[in-house]
C-alpha cells in the first residue's frame, strides 16, 4: 500500500465511525460465553476448546491447519470464532530485523501499531490498547491525533498472538523462540480502556487452552496515572508490573507535560503507585522522558528523589529514564548526555534504582511516543 493510500484510510474510518463494534472473537469470550458460542454454532462445547487450543496454544488461525475439526464446517467455525481483526498494512524493521513495527488496519479502518523487540534473553511486544489517545501529552506523537476509539480485548490479544507466532516460527533473526513480555506502551492509555485491557491481560495469563499462559510479572501496564483505575487494578489480583508515566516531580510542570495531572496530582498518582507496590509486592516503575532543559535539571532529579523517598526506601520503586524520542512538530529534544548522567547520579545518590531505557526502533518511528499510525 502506498503512503498516499494509507493517508486516505482515516477517511474510511471517519465514514464508518460508530457504526458497529469489532467482530466478536474467541478471545473476547469468557468460559461461559464460549459454551453459548458453541451452542449458537450448533457445535458441541469441545469444538470451541479445539479452536482455543489452536489459537492460544499453537498460535494457529488458519482453518487448513486445524485438521481435527470436521472438514465440512471448519471454515464456518473458524470464521465465526476467529474473524480477522488485524490487517497488516506495512511492516518496518530495524536493529537487523530484531525490531519490527507493524501498522494494522482494524475492521472499521482505524489504524494502530505494535512493535516486536527481540533481545538476547527475552522478546517483548509493545501493544496498542486504543486507536489514538485522548491524553494529549504534548511530547507524544499519539497524543497529538486525539482518540479515535477503544480497542476490543481480542484486538489487543491478536497483536500478542501475532508476535508470539512470529517468534515461534523463527521469523525474527535468532531462530524460533518464545514471546516472553508484553508492554502496554503502544498507542493509547490502557487505563482509559480498562475493561478490555483487563480482559486481554486475563487471556495472556490464563493457561492454555484458555489463554497464552504468560507470566503476569512479564506484563507491564503503563499509565499516565488514572488514580481510580490504578486502585482498581490493585484489587484485581493480577500481579502485572505497573509503570507510571510521571515525567515531572512537580505539579506545575507535570500539568503541562501530562495534562491529566490537573485531575490527579503528582502526589495522588505516586501514592496510588506506591499503594500498588505495597499490596502486590511488585516494584513499580516510574517512567520519565528526559526532555532537554524542560524536566532534566539537577534540582528536579533531587525533587523526584525526595518525592519517591517520602514513601520509604524498601525498594518499592525504580526510575526508568527515556531519552526523548523526536516527534513531528515538537520543539523539544532529548537531554544532553551530561545532564542525563547527572540526573541518574542524583537519583542513585538518594537510593533510587535508576536505569536509562535502550530506545529501540527510533529510526522507524517505532520508539516510545512515536506511534502515530500514519505514513511515517
Nearest approach in angstroms of CB 335 to ligand SAH is 11
Tell which phi-psi region holds residue 375, choosing left (phi > 0), alpha (psi between -120 and 50) or beta: beta
Nearer to ligand SAH, 147 or 224 (CB): 224
Nearest approach in angstroms of CB 332 to ligand SAH is 8
Eight-class DSSP state of 369: T
Nearest approach in angstroms of CB 127 to ligand SAH is 10
Active site residue 252: no
- Name which of 262, 124, 242, 247 is nearest 190 in CA terms: 242
Which are the contacts of 52, defined by CB distance < 8 A and separation ≥ 6? 26, 34, 209, 210
**How far apart are alpha carbons 156 and 150 in whole angstroms?**
10
DSSP 178-236: ---EEEE-SSS-GGGGHHHHHHHHHHHHSPTTTS----GGGEEEEES--HHHHHHHHHH
Nearest approach in angstroms of CB 303 to ligand SAH is 19
Q: Which of 43, 80, 113, 155 is catalytic?
A: 113
**How far apart are alpha carbons 53 and 29 in whole angstroms?**
14
Tell which phi-psi region holds residue 330, choosing left (phi > 0), alpha (psi between -120 and 50) or beta: beta
Nearer to ligand SAH, 43 or 365 (CB): 365
Nearer to ligand SAH, 153 or 285 (CB): 285
**How far apart are alpha carbons 113 and 82 in whole angstroms?**
20
Nearer to ligand SAH, 181 or 325 (CB): 325
Q: Which of 126, 137, 140, 368 is catalytic?
A: 368
Evaluate whether 85 touches 61 at the Cβ level (below 8 Å). Answer: no
With residue 285 as reference, give the H or E element that holds it: strand 284-290
Residues near ligand SAH (CB under 6 A): 135, 139-140, 185, 189, 222-224, 245, 287, 289, 322, 324-325, 327, 368-369
Nearest approach in angstroms of CB 115 to ligand SAH is 11
Q: Nearest residue to ligand SAH, using CB?
A: 369
Active site residue 113: yes
Query: What is the number of H-type helices and E-type strands within the chain?
Result: 12, 12
Nearer to ligand SAH, 12 or 374 (CB): 374
Tell which phi-psi region holds residue 67, choosing left (phi > 0), alpha (psi between -120 and 50) or beta: alpha
Nearer to ligand SAH, 98 or 222 (CB): 222
Which are the contacts of 14, defined by CB distance < 8 A and separation ≥ 6? none
Per 3-state DSSP, the chain is made up of helix, strand and coil in percentages (nearest 5) of 40, 20, 40
Nearest approach in angstroms of CB 101 to ligand SAH is 14
Nearer to ligand SAH, 361 or 369 (CB): 369
**How far apart are alpha carbons 324 and 103 in whole angstroms?**
22
Distance in angstroms between the alpha carbons of the first and the last residue of the chain: 13
Q: Among all chains, which residue has been given the C-alpha cell 508490573?
A: 241
Nearest approach in angstroms of CB 25 to ligand SAH is 23
Task: Point out the residues that are catalytic.
Answer: 113, 368
Amino acid at each position: 500500500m502506498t503512503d498516499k493510500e494509507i493517508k486516505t484510510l482515516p477517511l474510511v474510518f471517519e465514514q464508518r465511525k460508530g457504526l458497529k463494534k469489532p467482530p466478536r472473537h474467541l478471545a473476547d469470550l469468557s468460559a461461559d460465553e464460549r459454551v453459548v458460542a458453541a451452542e449458537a454454532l450448533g457445535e458441541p462445547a469441545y469444538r470451541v476448546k479445539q479452536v482455543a487450543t489452536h489459537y492460544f496454544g499453537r498460535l494457529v488461525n488458519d482453518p487448513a491447519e486445524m485438521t481435527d475439526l470436521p472438514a465440512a464446517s471448519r471454515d464456518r467455525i473458524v470464521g465465526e470464532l476467529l474473524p480477522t481483526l488485524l490487517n497488516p498494512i506495512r511492516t518496518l524493521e530495524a536493529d537487523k530485523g530484531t525490531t519490527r513495527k507493524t501498522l494494522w488496519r482494524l475492521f472499521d479502518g482505524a489504524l494502530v501499531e505494535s512493535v516486536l523487540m527481540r533481545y538476547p534473553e527475552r522478546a517483548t511486544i509493545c501493544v496498542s490498547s486504543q486507536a489514538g489517545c485522548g491524553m494529549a501529552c504534548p511530547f507524544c506523537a499519539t497524543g497529538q491525533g486525539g482518540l479515535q476509539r477503544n480497542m476490543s480485548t481480542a484486538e489487543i490479544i491478536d497483536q500478542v498472538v501475532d508476535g508470539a507466532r512470529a517468534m515461534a516460527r523463527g521469523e525474527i533473526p535468532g531462530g524460533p523462540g518464545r514471546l516472553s513480555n508484553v508492554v502496554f506502551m503502544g498507542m493509547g492509555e490502557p487505563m482509559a480502556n480498562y475493561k478490555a485491557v483487563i480482559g486481554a491481560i486475563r487471556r495472556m495469563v490464563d493457561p492454555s487452552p484458555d489463554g497464552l499462559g504468560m507470566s503476569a510479572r512479564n506484563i507491564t501496564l503503563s499509565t499516565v496515572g488514572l488514580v481510580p483505575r490504578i486502585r482498581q487494578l490493585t484489587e484485581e489480583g493480577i500481579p502485572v508490573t505497573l509503570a507510571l508515566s510521571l515525567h515531572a516531580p512537580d505539579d506545575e510542570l507535570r500539568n503541562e507535560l501530562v495534562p491529566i495531572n490537573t485531575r490527579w496530582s503528582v502526589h495522588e498518582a505516586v501514592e496510588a503507585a506506591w499503594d500498588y507496590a505495597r499490596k502486590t509486592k511488585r516494584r513499580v516503575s516510574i517512567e520519565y522522558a528526559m526532555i532537554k532543559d524542560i524536566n532534566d535539571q539537577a534540582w528536579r532529579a533531587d525533587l523526584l528523589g525526595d518525592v519517591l523517598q517520602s514513601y520509604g526506601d524498601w525498594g518499592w520503586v525504580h526510575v526508568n529514564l527515556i531519552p526523548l524520542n523526536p516527534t513531528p512538530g515538537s520543539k523539544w529534544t532529548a537531554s544532553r548526555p551530561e545532564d542525563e548522567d547527572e540526573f541518574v547520579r542524583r537519583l542513585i545518590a538518594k537510593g533510587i534504582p535508576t536505569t536509562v531505557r535502550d530506545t529501540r526502533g527510533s529510526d522507524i518511528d517505532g520508539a516510545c511516543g512515536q506511534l502515530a499510525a500514519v505514513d511515517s
